[in-house]
Amino acid sequence: MNTIGIGLLGAGTVGGTLIHRLVTEHAAIAAKTGLDLQVRRVAVRDPAKPRSFEIPEGMFTTDPMSMIEDPDVDLVVEVMGGQEPAGDLVLRALETGKPVVTANKELIAARGDELIAAAEKSGVALLFEAAVGGGIPIIRPLSETLAGERITRVMGIVNGTTNYILTRMAEEGTAYADALGQAQDLGYAEPDPTADVEGADAAAKAAILASLAFGTWVGLDHVPHSGISQVTATDIRYARDLGYTIKLLGIAEDTPQGVSARVHPVLLPHDHPLSSIRGATNAIFIEGPAIDTLLFAGPGAGGDPTATAVLGDVIDAAREILAGAQVAPRIRFAPSSLADFGAIPTKWYVRLEVEDRPGVLAQIAAAFGEASVSIKSVWQEGTDDEATLLIVTHRAPEADQENALRTVGNLDCVNAVAAAIRVESEEA
Ligand SMILES: NC(=O)c1ccc[n+]([C@@H]2O[C@H](COP(=O)([O-])OP(=O)(O)OC[C@H]3O[C@@H](n4cnc5c(N)ncnc54)[C@H](OP(=O)(O)O)[C@@H]3O)[C@@H](O)[C@H]2O)c1
């Protein structure tokens, strides 16, 4: 039998489910793959904690480094999360010549280039299918299946918590704070939801997607991000009337200005495939000249789907160990120019609260014009001496759009720039 000894860093939601699957489905996995996958050591913080799986007590350790260096461990699975100590432990495992499977987007987004180089130097695999999109196969398609495609753009709903909140707001008119509370009650959102709702979690995933799609390392500091905490049910309703759905997207593009990655809420046309992705589901939409478009959708989190992705990587790495060859990295990064976000053409939906008197519209149009932003459409609703103006602009460099918003916000006739959200549509 082809026996592979597995050491786990972490046995929480993902690690615990993985161990349960490795134990209960051992025979089925062996029958399908010819592999005898054995859990040998499990590093945790508290070995006394009640667990959802059963392994002999002596397998637990609180000394992760000793687990990595244990000669019975052939392959390391990192499911402890966070940047440290996970980062140094993964690096040590790779330097020791052991392949690593990780689900840790935070670590890969922060140190992926360094860790992939360390894996290449040792000739072992570093696999991270579960780091983006949980149970959705997306890392392998991007870095292997589509390696020959000249990908132009990747757009993804890569955070289930925010998609759940936006869906509740859109379908039931729920206020943001109430929808967030519901997400917390259902366990979709952490007690401190900041990383999800302000876009940092999605930014880590967008950095990974951009790096793999364009074969150039895109560090987190090149991924500007904003979240959904300013999105209101009012704007979701207005956007719907204008033909759009509001989503939080990670966008990675190969533009004439260079590679760009960013995360922000967008108005998407109702007929865009990502507009119909509801609840906590994740989806990634890939565009390229030969494939045209591809949509990957499914569960972006949860112990079971994520453990399936990790298990697939474990089987892949185990096969390579048994093949005995030096492993080439799945992806190599070449330097490429990264775009300044200010230069990227964007279009905006802007909601203004204005005084309802003659000449106001002309002043506002002039302010946009001065900033070289042209207006595509205007919709107005009056209430006594106040009016709401909904403006959708044409495409213009992001810096000009932001400049226009500042100028418009300073006009005496404008009481408030109540909302400003980018629009993603094929039109100019
Ligand atoms: N949960 C998901 O749905 C999901 C989806 C996709 C990706 N991921 C990624 O998967 C990874 C794990 O997530 P999770 O939800 O399974 O986390 P979790 O439930 O919090 O589990 C973390 C595990 O790591 C152990 N641990 C943490 N710090 C440690 C340390 N310094 N030394 C030894 N052990 C340590 C914990 O030990 P104790 O058990 O003793 O506390 C626990 O077993 C993260 O990178 C996450 O981003 C998770």
Which ligand 1 atom sits nearest the alpha carbon of residue 46? 40
* Pocket around ligand 1 at a 6 A CB cut-off: 10-15, 43-46, 49, 64, 79-81, 85, 103-105, 130, 134, 301-302, 306
Count of beta carbons in the 10 Å neighbourhood of residue 236 = 23
**Biggest distance spanned by C-alpha atoms of the chain:** 84
Instruction: Give the residue numbers spanning the domain of 401.
Output: 341-423
Q: Are residues 182 and 289 in the same domain?
A: yes
- Given a cut of 80, whether residue 56 has pLDDT beyond it is yes
Q: Which of 98, 105, 205, 247 is catalytic?
A: 205
- Whole-angstrom distance, CA of residue 215 vs CA of residue 54: 42
- Given a cut of 90, whether residue 428 has pLDDT beyond it is no
Residue 330 lies inside a defined structural domain of this protein:
no
Strands 153-157, 281-288: parallel, antiparallel or unpaired by DSSP?
antiparallel
- Whole-angstrom distance, CA of residue 325 vs CA of residue 334: 25
pLDDT tier at 383, thresholds 50, 70, 90: confident
Q: Which of 44, 53, 83 to mutate to test the pocket of ligand 1 (most atoms within 8 A of CB)?
A: 44
Residue 141 lies inside a defined structural domain of this protein:
no
Which ligand 1 atom sits nearest the alpha carbon of residue 17? 16
Q: Are residues 264 and 291 in the same domain?
A: yes
Q: Are residues 295 and 153 in the same domain?
A: yes
Residue 336 lies inside a defined structural domain of this protein:
no
Q: What is the arithmetic mean of pLDDT over 28-54?
A: 96
Q: Are residues 177 and 70 in the same domain?
A: no
Closest CA to 105 of 304, 347, 310, 382: 310
Residue 329 lies inside a defined structural domain of this protein:
no
> What is the reported pLDDT for 57?
81
Q: Are residues 292 and 348 in the same domain?
A: no
The CATH number of the domain where 388 resides is what?
Answer: 3.30.70.260
> What is the reported pLDDT for 325?
85
**Gap from CA of 85 to ligand 1 centroid (Å):** 12
The CATH number of the domain where 70 resides is what?
Answer: 3.40.50.720
Residue 309 lies inside a defined structural domain of this protein:
yes
Number of domains the chain contains: 3
- Cα distances from 190 to residues 178, 196, 211, in angstroms, run 15, 8, 28
- Whole-angstrom distance, CA of residue 293 vs CA of residue 278: 20
Residue 53 neighbours by CB under 8 Å, 6+ apart: 11, 16, 19, 20, 23
Q: Are residues 92 and 33 in the same domain?
A: yes
Nearest CA to ligand 1 atom 44: 81
pLDDT digits (tens, 9 = 90+) for 298-321: 999 999 999 999 999 999 999 999
**Gap from CA of 11 to ligand 1 centroid (Å):** 7
**Gap from CA of 313 to ligand 1 centroid (Å):** 17
> What is the reported pLDDT for 309?
98
Residue 109 lies inside a defined structural domain of this protein:
yes
Q: Are residues 286 and 308 in the same domain?
A: no
**Gap from CA of 190 to ligand 1 centroid (Å):** 14
Which ligand 1 atom sits nearest the alpha carbon of residue 45? 40
pLDDT tier at 426, thresholds 50, 70, 90: confident
Q: Are residues 200 and 237 in the same domain?
A: yes
Lowest mean pLDDT among 16-20, 38-42, 56-60, 197-201: 56-60
Q: Are residues 157 and 295 in the same domain?
A: yes
Residue 328 lies inside a defined structural domain of this protein:
no
Q: Are residues 15 and 129 in the same domain?
A: yes
| DSSP assignments along 61-120, one per residue | ES-HHHHHH-TT--EEEE-S-SSTTHHHHHHHHHHTT--EEE--HHHHHHHHHHHHHHHH
Residue 332 lies inside a defined structural domain of this protein:
no
Q: Which of 269, 291, 323 is the last residue of a domain?
A: 323
pLDDT digits (tens, 9 = 90+) for 226-280: 999 999 999 999 999 999 999 999 999 999 999 999 999 999 999 999 999 999 9
Q: Are residues 222 and 195 in the same domain?
A: yes
Q: Are residues 126 and 176 in the same domain?
A: no
The question of whether 32 is a catalytic residue gets the answer no
